Every structure is written in structure tokens, then in C-alpha cells.
Amino acid sequence: MRPLEGAGGAAFEEDGRLYTESAAPGTRVYGERVVSRDGAEYREWSPHRSKLSAYLAAGGRSVPFGRGSEVLYLGASSGTTASHVSDIVSEGRVYCVEFSPRAFRDLVAACGPRPNMIPILGDAMRPSGYGFAVGGADAVYSDVAQKRQADIALDNAEAFGAKRGMIAVKARSEDVTAPPERVFRETEERIRDRGYRIVDAVSLEPFEKAHEMIVFEAMR
């Protein structure tokens, strides 16, 4: 099991498979494969189940959070990717915001054995609605399926003091008729217009159709 270069020592690779070291040994979140090496437990991180894993599998190497980071996760759904972020920030926290009550029930169950995962039922478009639960954040990870994806992520970054982040851009959620490449370029330009620098931008093909992961950081 070797650390994946550029992923802050938080993701691991063995025989072409990605893993994170489990922050809650003995538990599975979504039936993932688990292996033990040198007294540690590792959870397989499939790029077909997680856009963040897809980014790494597609060559991305700019994860803007690490072991002690406070991460605000927008669109946490049932907690699949968020649980791997929990592994990565094992000495930090993941504030998991989800709008759907149905998905939120599964998210709460995923957070149960992981004290550093905080489930929040809220609307990512209204960060003031969950400010009471989030003291601050070092980074934002956004995976929301709606328009204005860049603004949603950056509004949250500014609300909670995050200087870095990642956006899993869904082209069809922004404009179902526009070519995905145009949507990606317009999203990148919007990020720059708001005073941020693009650190990395990687297509998530072949794992996710019409998706791009954008990593950004504040310029000021």
C-alpha cells in the first residue's frame, strides 16, 4: 500500500486500486471492500462511486485538505465520498450538508461511528441557515446538482473563511443544452472573476460523463 503522490499522503494505491485508511475500523459505509495492512484497515475507494476518487484516478493530484483540516462538504448525499473525506481529515472535521431528507437519513447513519463527520440538513444556497453548526472551514468540497455551482461553493467559502476548495461541476445541471466544455470554461471564468485561482481542472471521464473537477484557491 503506497501513498498516492500529490494527495497529501491521504489516499493510497495498491494494484491499481485506490484506498483511504479507515478512521472507523470495523465499519463499512456502503459495502466497500476492506483490506488490512501492517495493523491498519484500508477501505477501497471506487472511482465509479465517488467523484473525488474519480478525480484522483483520472490523474488529479491537488487535494486541498489533509489530516487536520476542517472541510465543509456541500451535497453530501448518503455519505459515500464524505466518509472517505472523514478518513483523510482524521484529526479534523467534515461538516456534511445535505438538502434531501431521504438521503440525510442515510447520511446520519454513516456519521454514527465517525465523530468527525457532522450531518447538517440544509440548503447549500443558504449558508446562513447552518452557520450555527459550522464554526469555520479550511476548505469547501461541493457536489451539488443545480445551477450556479461556482457561486454556491464560493458563497460558502466566503461565509466560513475557506481559502481553498473543489467543485465537482455537473455540466447538465448548469445547462442541459450547452456543450459540457463550454460550461466548464464558463465555470472556471466565474471562479476567476470572483478572485480565485484555478489550481487544477480535470475531466472525470470515463467515470462520470460531462463532469469536471475544479480545484481553486483564493488569490487574496
Residue range 115-156, pLDDT digits in tens: 999 999 999 999 999 999 998 999 999 999 999 999 999 999
Can you list the residues of the chain whose pLDDT is less than 70? 6, 8
pLDDT of residue 204: 98
- Report the Cα–Cα distance between both ends of the chain, in Å, rounded: 38
**What pLDDT is recorded for position 5?**
75
The pLDDT score that the predictor gives to residue 219 is 87
Phi, psi for residue 168 in degrees, rounded to 5: -85, 95
Its sign, for the CA torsion 55, 175, 137, 85, is negative
Q: What is the pLDDT at residue 68?
A: 94
Q: Which domains does the chain have, with CATH numbers?
A: 2-44 (3.30.200), 51-218 (3.40.50.150)
- Give the H/E segment covering residue 200: strand 196-203
Among 217, 213, 200, CA closest to 168: 213
Specify the pLDDT at position 134. 96
pTM of the model: 0.96
Distances (CA, A) of 184 to 19, 176, 177, 210: 28, 13, 13, 9
pLDDT at position 10 is 79
